[in-house]
Amino acid sequence: MKKRLLMEELYRQGKAPKRRLWLIAGLTLVLILVAGGVWYRATLETRLEDKYQQGLVLRQTGNYQAAIDQFASLHKENPEFVRAAEALYQVAEIQDLYLGNYSDALLTYLLLERDYPDAEQVLVARKQLAILYKYRLGDCGEAISAYQKVLDHASRDRDQLQYEVADCYFRLNNFNQARIEFESLLKNEAESALVAEVQYRIAVTYALEGKLPEAAGGYRLVMERWEESPYALEARIGLATVLEEQEELLEALKILEELVGIYPNAEVLEQKTVQVRERIEKKKKAI
């Protein structure tokens, strides 16, 4: 009995140091892991910033696909990174402006708006999205919606944005709504540099709808208020066309002849003048 107790005590005493060693080793490993985690988090932003800057260098040197891969990985792997929204915008802009991958760019702009709705890049992305719809994809319907979103939050360039909306309706042959949008611009942005052009285009919408008296009045208004504007010359051509359609041929011819040496497109002016003269001659012969 004594022998067995002695053996057990010796075994216990020999095993205790091993347990202490394992405990110390475990604690050391935990400390190493914790320290590593702290270091990783402390240096993460710096490493991500370096990666973002590398993406900019790739873009500037024309390595567009490599730049896209670099920026896209920042968003995918570290969506909380302070520059993640900027990185996503970089992807969209490269796809849009440099590679002509318009469908991909569209999806990336929309992804930016979805994932980072409060990011400052969203307003710019919405504007680029509207431009993409209108001028690259030829989808004025979607462009109107996109421009309207920008207008709802814009504090600058509101006249240009309103003009784009009106022009989209014009391109959709919705001349009545285009005129409403143009008139809204004149009402809300009376000091805009676009007012002469806008008033001219209002007259054009009337002319295209066959509302000739209204068109003539619109053209005359441009000629009177903005006589130094290039649109005053265009308005005179427009007025001559309306007068011709109203069979007021002599007045139309007079306006056209007064534009000789002034109107920049001499060929168009000559064609219209000849056309009116021929109609006058035919009318004389008919009499």
What's the pTM? 0.80
Least confident residue range of 12-16, 91-95, 186-190, 207-211: 12-16
**What is the C-alpha separation between 110 and 115, in angstroms, rounded?**
9
Domain ranges of the chain: 51-119, 131-192, 194-287
Grade residue 155 by pLDDT with cuts at 50, 70 and 90: confident
pLDDT digits (tens, 9 = 90+) for 40-98: 455 779 999 999 999 999 999 999 999 999 999 999 999 999 999 999 999 999 999 99
Distance CA 235, CA 224 (A): 10
**Residue 82, CA distances (Å) to 38, 45, 52, 185 in order:** 19, 8, 11, 38
Choose between 18 and 122: higher pLDDT. 122
The CATH number of the domain covering residues in 51-119: 1.25.40
Residues 6+ apart with CB under 8 A from 131: 143
Q: Decide if 51-119 and 131-192 have a common fold.
A: yes
Distance separating alpha carbons of residues 62 and 106, to the nearest angstrom: 21
**Under a CB-based contact definition with an 8 Å cutoff, are residues 150 and 126 in contact?**
yes
* CATH architecture type of domain 131-192: Alpha Horseshoe (1.25)
How far apart CA 100 and CA 137 sit, in angstroms, is: 11
Cβ(102)–Cβ(128) below 8 Å: no
Task: Give CATH superfamily name and number for 194-287.
Answer: Tetratricopeptide repeat domain (1.25.40.10)
Q: Take residue 72 and report the two structure tokens written for it.
A: 């896209």
The CA radius of gyration of the chain, in Å to the nearest whole number, is 36
